[in-house]
Amino acid sequence: MATKKKEVQLNIRIDSALKTAGQEVAKDLGIDLNTAINLFIAAMVRTHRLPFEPSTLPSETLEALHESDHSKAHKTYDNAEDMWRDLNV
C-alpha cells in the first residue's frame, strides 16, 4: 500500500510585481506558481545546487560571453600584424 505524502505550507515574502510576473510566466508554461516553485525545489534537492548559475553580471553580458565562448565564426590570427592587415588598418 502506498503511503500518502504529507504536505506542508510554505510562506515566503516576495515583491508583488515579481509574484505577478512569475504567475504570468508559469501560466504561459501551463502550470501555476505553486507547481513552478515545487519544480524549482525538487530540482535543487535532486542536484544539490540551484537550477541556474547565479551571477552578478547583467543577463545581456552573460549571453554575450556564452556566445563568444561557443562561436566558431570568429576569425583568429597568429599575431597582431596579421589582424591589423586584415582590418586594413
- pLDDT tens-digit map of 29-72: 999 999 999 999 999 999 999 998 887 888 888 888 877 766 56
Does any domain span residue 34? yes
**What is the domain extent for residue 47?**
16-86
- pTM of the predicted structure, to 2 decimals: 0.57
Does any domain span residue 33? yes
Does any domain span residue 65? yes
Q: How many helices (H) and strands (E) does the chain have?
A: 4, 0
Query: For residue 36, what pLDDT is reported?
Result: 96
Does any domain span residue 38? yes
CA atoms within 13 A on the CB side of 31: 11
When divided into structural domains, the chain yields a total of 1
Residue with cell 596579421: 82
Does any domain span residue 6? no
Does any domain span residue 8? no
